[in-house]
Amino acid sequence: MARTRIHIRTRIAVGAAALTLATAAALLGGVLRDGASQAARAATDPDAAPALQAGFALGIDTRGLVRELQSRIRLTPKDAQSLALLGLAYEQRARETGDSSYYTKADGALRSSLKIAPNYMLATSGLGSLALSRHEFRAALALGRTAVGISAATARNYGVVGDALIELGRYPEAFAAFDTMARLRPSLSAYARISYARELRGDRSGAVAAMRLAIDAANGQPEPMAWTRVQLGKLYWNGGRPAAAERLYREALAVFPGYVYALDQLALVEAAKGRTAQAIALERRAVDRIPLPQFVGTLGDLYATHGQTALAAKQVALMAVIVRLLAANGVRTDLEAALYDVDHGIRLTTVVDRARAARADRPSIDGDDVLGWALTRTGRCAAGLVWAGRSLRLGTPDPLKVFHLAMAQRCAGRPAAARVNFRRALTLNPHFSVLWSRVARAGTAS
C-alpha cells in the first residue's frame, strides 16, 4: 500500500552458504521453522510466508545473497528461479537501503526470468510487487491478476491486487481482495491489510484489533515485530493517544534497534512535547540511515520550526534530488511531490495541473485530498472544497484530510464550518502535523 501499501525495509536470515528453495520463501516473507521439509513446501506454496509486498524476511545477508545468486546465474544463465530470486533480492535491497537503482536491477532480473519461464508465478508476483513500489498501480493490478490466474490459491497474489486497487480508488474490490487473502491464509500481511481497510472505513477499534493479530503473527521476528508495533502506534497517534503510541515506538526500537520507522515516529512525539532538538536528532538518524523522502521532508519541517532556515533549505534541495533519482529508476512520485510542493509553496503556478494529473493516475482519496489542497492553496476555493469533501467519503478519521477540508471551508467563506473541522482535526490528533497543527489551533478561534 502506497501509504496503504506496507512499505517495510527488511533484513533477511538464512546463511548465505545454504541457498536452497527456502530462499524464495524468505524473500517472500517466509517464516520457516521446520527445516528442509518446509523449505521444499515453500517452493510450491509461497504462502508459507506473509507477502512479497510486505518485504518481511528472516535476516538473510541480502548483499551476500545477491552475490551468490549472481555467481549462480553466471554458471547457469537460463535458471529462471535464480533470476527471479535475484530480482526479489534486489527489491529487498531497495527497501533496506532506499537506493532506487535496485528497482531497475530487479526489473531486469524478473523480466529475464519470465522470458525463460513465461508463466512463472514467482517472477510475475515479483513484478507486481515492483510495480507497486514504483507506484505503477495499473500495471501492478494487471500483474497481480495474472499471478492470481496462475495460482488462485496463493493468498499473497491477492495482496498485490488489493494494494493496487486501493491506490486506484476501487475500494470495494480492494477490500474483497484482502478478505480473500485473509481467508486463504491468515498471516501478518493479511491482518495488516485488513487493519488498513478498517481504518479507511472509520473503524478504528477494528483496525487496532486486526493490527494486534498482526503483532501476534510477528512474534519472534525482530523486524516484523518492530513494524507491526509502529503501525499500531500510528493508529493510536492518529486517535489522540500519544502516550500509547510512544510506548509502542519504543518497544519497536527495543526489538529492532535503530529501526528507522520508529525513529521517524518518535521524532514526531518529541516535537509534540516541544523537544524540537531531540526530534531533529531522531529524524536525522533516520535520514542518515535511509534517506526516504518522508524522513527528509519531516526533518526539513523540524528545522524550519526550530528557526534553522538554512538547514531546512538543504532538506528542500535534497528532496528535489531524491525525487529525480526515483524518477530515473521508474518510481512515480507525482502525487507526493505535488503535496510537498503545496505544503511548502513551491512551483505553485503549475501545482494544480500537476496535482490533477497525479489524481487522474491515482484516483484514490489521497489523490482527491492532494488535488483539493492544491486548489485551496491557490485560491480556487469552491473546487478545493469539493475535492476535500470527496477525500473523506469513506469516513476515514484522518486529521490531515479534515484539516484540509477546514482550510477549504474557510477559503470558500464558510468560517463556522471551518472552525468545527479545525476542532475535529485537533480532537483526532492535536499534533497531526509539524507544519499545520498550529494553524488548526489558530483556526478554532478565527
What is the residue-averaged pLDDT of the chain?
A: 87
Average pLDDT over residues 312-321: 95
- 12 forms bridges with which residues in the sheet? 59
Q: How far apart are CA 297 and CA 39, in angstroms?
A: 42
Q: For residues 307, 313, 318 and 321, what is the CA-based torsion angle, rounded to 10 degrees? A: 160
60 in Cβ contact with 14 (< 8 Å): yes
Q: Does 19 have pLDDT greater than 60?
A: no
Position 65 scores a pLDDT of 87
Sign of CA dihedral 37, 40, 44, 45: positive
Average pLDDT over residues 128-153: 97
Residue range 40-64, pLDDT digits in tens: 232 333 343 322 233 334 455 788 8
Q: Which domains does the chain have, with CATH numbers?
A: 1-170 (1.25.40.10), 186-257 (1.25.40.10), 258-332 (1.25.40.10), 334-446 (1.25.40.10)
Identify residue 356 by its one-letter amino acid code.
R
Position 25 scores a pLDDT of 41
47 in Cβ contact with 154 (< 8 Å): yes
Residue range 353-410, pLDDT digits in tens: 999 999 999 999 999 999 999 999 999 999 999 999 999 999 999 999 999 999 999 9
Position 431 scores a pLDDT of 96
Residue 18's pLDDT band, with cuts at 50, 70 and 90, is very low
pTM of the model: 0.86
C-alpha cell at 301: 519541517
Residue 12's pLDDT band, with cuts at 50, 70 and 90, is very low
Terminal-to-terminal C-alpha distance of the chain: 37
Position 62 scores a pLDDT of 80
Position 60 scores a pLDDT of 58
Residue 32's pLDDT band, with cuts at 50, 70 and 90, is very low
The strand ranges marked E within 26-97 are none
Burial class (CB in 10 A: 0-12, 13-18, 19+), 219: exposed
Residue range 111-130, pLDDT digits in tens: 999 999 999 999 999 999 99
Nearest to 389 by CA among 376, 372, 370, 410: 372
Write the CA distances from 158 to 28, 78, 193, integer angstroms. Answer: 14, 29, 11
Nearest to 58 by CA among 104, 127, 12, 93: 12
Q: How far apart are CA 174 and CA 169, in angstroms?
A: 9
